[in-house]
Structure 1
Amino acid sequence: MFKLFVTLLRGRNADAADALTNTLALPILRQQLRDCAGGVETARRAVAMVMAYAERERKAAARISAQLADLETRALDALAKGRDDLATEAAGAIAQLEAEATTTARALATYDAEIAHLRAVLADAEARLRDLQRGQRLAIATDHTQRLHGAAAVATLNEAEATLARLQERQSNTEAARAAVLELSASTNAEAMQNRLAAAGCGAPLRPDAATVLQRLKARAA
């Protein structure tokens, strides 16, 4: 029994959590999109930083290449002039520059590959963010429409219609009562006038008098 109670409690908690999540879905979505937009902006800055590093390596490679060309030219000139000592020193410097050029080329290749990868990831994230933002606008519009046609609005409309029906019924009853009063008043006035005319001897009497009753009884006795 206790296990069943715990299961029921967990179920109610889950239902309450789901209901709360559904109620707060739009605020949650707005915050999630703000987080996504912040992540995309961070990714843009990361791509820009890597591109700056790559550009620095590219400039270093160009500088090394220019230095190598200049040193080789000067070393050849030293050899031509019989300055083997200077040519030997130049060869050592050229070897160091070539090693640095190799390292720079590798770094540049790594940066270029990373830039291509980050750009692809960023493009996908931007596209998904745009889709989410369009979906959010649609969800907001749909939510507003549903609120307009929601149960609360329908209930309010129903209540207003019921109130109007009661008002119209009351007005109709009032008009009917007024018409009845007027009719009754007219009828009463007519009867009063008839009684007055009959009492004055105008026309046949409305009520039998004693003489008329006596004459009718004599006729029956005969």
Structure 2
Amino acid sequence: MFKMFTTLVRARTHDAAEAIEDANALTILRQQLRDAADGLQGAKRAVAVVIAYAEREKNNATKIAGQINDLELRAVEALRQDREDLATEAASAIAELEAEAAASARATAHYDAEIRRLREQVSLSEQRLRALQRGKQIADAAARTQKLRGTMPDGVVSSLREAEATLERLQSRQDHAEAVDVALRDLTTGPSAEGTVARLAAAGCGAPLRPEAAHVLDRLRAKTA
């Protein structure tokens, strides 16, 4: 029973931690990216330090090479003058310098390899950091969009739907009324018996429907005669 209780406590603690992490994921991501950027700057400084060490070792190797060359010339001159003691001393110094030069060459090779490795790591880290920063920008935009979406009350959406339905019904009634008006105009201006008789009389088909001015004038002349 105690084991089950401790398991339950651990499970709830884990769930609570995950809930907090999920609720603050964007804030956590921003801090992680800041930490990664700071770490990357530290890595760049480390590369710069290694490059400085390598450059110092190369300068030392150049200096040793100059010393060896100078000692060799002087040793040869000592041999020409039969100064075996000086030539032997010079040979011993040259041997020491050559050993130092070999060690310097190994150190330079190590530095060069380390610089290449660190530069590759820095370059890869910079690419990953840029990709994460682009992803953070997308996440920021999505969060702002979700926040704006959450500020729209449900009542506004339902009111808009109701207004759209009302407008649709109004437009439907207006379209119907317009159709009725068109039909009435067609019926009013359409052919009728009276209209047909009037058009026939005007065309001289049958007796005129009303006296014409010429006929009235003829009747008046007849009266005067």
TM-score, normalised to structure 2, is 0.65
Give the root-mean-square deviation of aligned CA atoms. 2.3
Aligned residue type for 1:27: T
What residue number does 1:17 align with?
17
Distance 1:161 1:84, change over 3 A: closer
Change over 3 Å in CA distance of 1:142–1:93 after alignment to 2 = same
Equivalent residue, structure 1, for 2:155: 159
Is 1:95 matched with 2:91?
no
Deviation of 1:15 after TM superposition, in Å, equals: 3.0
The amino acid of 2:44's aligned partner reads: R
Aligned to 1:64: 64
Find the counterpart in structure 2 of residue 192 from structure 1: none
Give the alignment of 1:1-222 within 5 angstroms: 7-150=7-150, 153-154=151-152, 156=153, 158-160=154-156
Change (3 A) 1:75 1:27: same
Distance in 2 (alpha carbons) for counterparts of 1:25 and 1:56: 46
1:113-171 Cα distance to aligned partner (Å, 9 max, x none):
11111111111111111111111111111111111123xx24x2x23466899xxxxxx
1:26-56 Cα deviation digits (max 9, x unpaired)? 1100111111011111110111101110101
Deviation, structure 1 residue 94: 0.6
Structure 1 residue 5, shift from structure 2 partner: 5.7
Number of equivalent positions: 162
Return 5+ residue gaps in structure 2 as ranges.
Answer: 162-225
Q: Give the aligned residue type for 1:22.
A: D
Show the counterpart of 1:195. Answer: none
Partners of 1:3 and 1:90 in 2: CA distance: 81
SS of structure 1 residue aligned to 2:139: helix
3-state SS, counterpart of residue 137 of structure 2: helix
Q: Distance in 1 between matches of 2:40 and 2:94?
A: 44
The structural deviation recorded for 1:13 is 3.4
- Cα distance, 1:90 vs structure 2: 0.8
Taking structure 1 as reference, are residues 132 and 69 closer, same or farther at Cα in structure 2, changes over 3 Å only?
A: same
CA deviation string 1:67-114 (max 9, x = no partner): 111110111111112222211111111111111101111111111111
* Residue 180 of structure 1: aligned partner: none
Distance 1:100 1:33 in 2: 45
Aligned counterparts of 2:124 and 2:73: Cα–Cα separation in 1: 49
Give me the identity figure in percent.
55
Q: Which amino acid aligns with 1:32?
A: Q
CA 1:20–1:70 in structure 2 vs 1: closer, same or farther (change >3 Å)? same
How many Å apart are 1:2 and its aligned residue? 6.5
